Homo-oligomer: A and B are copies of this chain.
Amino acid sequence: MGPKRRRVVILGSGFGGLAAAEALRGADLDITLIDRTNHHLFQPLLYQVATAALSPGDIAWPLRTIFRSQSNVRVVMGEVRAIDRAGRRVQVTDHPPIPYDVLIVAVGSRHAYFNRPDWEGYAPGLKTLADAVALRARMVLAFEQAERRAATSSGATPLTFVIVGGGPTGVELAGAMAEIGRNAMLPDFPFLQRQAVRILLVEAGSRVLSGFPPDLSAHAQSALESMGVTVLLNQRVREVGPKGVTLDGQFIETGNVIWAAGNRASPLLSSLQVPLDKDGRVFVRPDLTVPDDDWLFVIGDAAAVQDGQGHFLPGLAPVAMQEGRYVAAVLAAPTATGKRAAFRYVDRGTLATIGRAKAVAQFGSVHVSGFWAWMLWCTVHIFFLIGFRNRFRVVSEWIWYYLTFKPGARLLDQSHN
């Protein structure tokens, strides 16, 4: 036992929290990583689990395995109830309070329902493995029920999937559902007509992928349409219920609405008692700390961080990871606060995939689309996947799927009627 080491507590094992913890390997610190699940989730591929192209095990990795060889990290699986700033400790359900000298808040965000939480039951979102597995079950079940109706009744009702939100998640979901629903699953349901399966993507703005330049948005939209997805722009969701979803102009009858619109940062952040933006994110200083504590950092989707031009950084994995590494660097070299260099996000480009051999990519002024953007997307995602094993499995899954068009994990793990 040397002198007491600084206690660093990290809340959340997403890209930000994980990057911070890993970047502190070897540091003379006493790190506690707290997450409500026992795994790190590679969220960018979650939609592929939801559409049964991948298995949960392919995109998630147990935290304890990740940090098995990093002796300065202790993993705690638990639900953080509140942050006790006065006592400098974290309240965890069924666990003694966990004291900290340094706190890194990387608790991410959940979907936002425009103050209509009652919609969530009819329009679940996609943030966790549980979300993805539930969504997959709903999709498979919807096909089974439509097949049953088509086989036993004369008038077959259409099978409609409505995806709300034209951002990367919505676009990726719509593309994957079009491919898997129409190409992979439909042949297994002899009574279902191809045109009976409808996939609608609803976007409130004037274009999909609004984070990308207009030409790539246009490309993404036409790619989706070529896959049989109906893209509805400038359509706000007015109501969601058991029978379907009401847009500005129309009512769409469906039992399958998926929410990919808007995020709201974790409610836990309110216990910090610092100013939050309209999405519930914490306004942080250039060194990612809260205004009144040099050793309380907020990163990732939980933080509202401005870039050099005063724009707020998007909620993307690379942003969170760079923020995590920045905080780790600050802790590794504890200079006086005044001397801390401000965090600078280095934009290495953004990617979104639409479907098999269809993607868009932006690198500054360079815009790429189609097959090569997709290859790039695959490469980047495989590269960032944690652990050889997952890479190996995801690659083999993708190759298998690319060659055969047969997703493997299309299972309901219990009876549904």
Chain A residues close to B by CB (< 8 Å): 36-39, 55-57, 60, 62, 64-65, 68, 74, 76-79, 93-96, 128-130, 133, 140, 144, 148, 151-152, 187-190, 389-390, 392-393, 396, 400, 404, 406, 408-417
A17 to B56 Cα, complex, angstroms: 29
Listed residue (A130, A144, A408, A413) with the most chain B CB atoms within 10 angstroms of its CB: A413
Which of B55, B65, B76, B414 contacts A130, CB < 8 Å? B414
A133 to chain B, nearest CB (A): 6
Q: Which residues from B are CB-within-8-Å of A392? A: 396, 400
Q: A411, B39: Cβ atoms under 8 Å? A: yes
A129: chain B residues within 8 A (beta carbon): 411, 413-414
> Residues of B contacting A190 with CB < 8 Å?
74
Given A129-B414, A130-B414, A389-B404, 17 other A-B contacts at CB below 8 A?
A: A36-B415, A37-B415, A38-B410, A38-B412, A55-B57, A55-B409, A62-B188, A62-B410, A65-B410, A77-B144, A78-B417, A95-B148, A96-B152, A128-B413, A129-B411, A130-B413, A396-B396
Residue from B57, B65, B94, B152 in contact with A188 in the complex, judged by beta carbons closer than 8 Å: B65
Least CB distance, A196 to chain B, in whole angstroms? 16
Q: Are B188 and A64 in contact (CB under 8 A)?
A: yes
Q: Which residues of B contact A413 (CB under 8 A)?
A: 37, 56, 128-130, 133
CB-CB nearest in chain B for A137: B38
A13 → chain B closest CB, angstroms: 12
Given contacts A64-B189, A389-B400, contact A38 B406 (CB under 8 A): no
Cα–Cα, bound, A62→B414 (Å): 13
Question: Which interface residue of A94, A151, A190, A412 has the most chain B CB atoms within 10 A?
Answer: A412
A189 to chain B, nearest CB (A): 7
29 inter-chain pairs at a CB distance below 8 angstroms, sorted by A residue, are: A37-B412, A38-B140, A38-B412, A55-B56, A55-B57, A55-B409, A56-B409, A56-B413, A57-B408, A60-B411, A62-B188, A62-B410, A64-B189, A65-B188, A65-B410, A74-B151, A76-B148, A77-B144, A77-B416, A78-B417, A79-B417, A129-B411, A129-B413, A130-B414, A389-B404, A389-B406, A390-B408, A392-B396, A393-B393
A188-B415 in contact (CB<8A): no
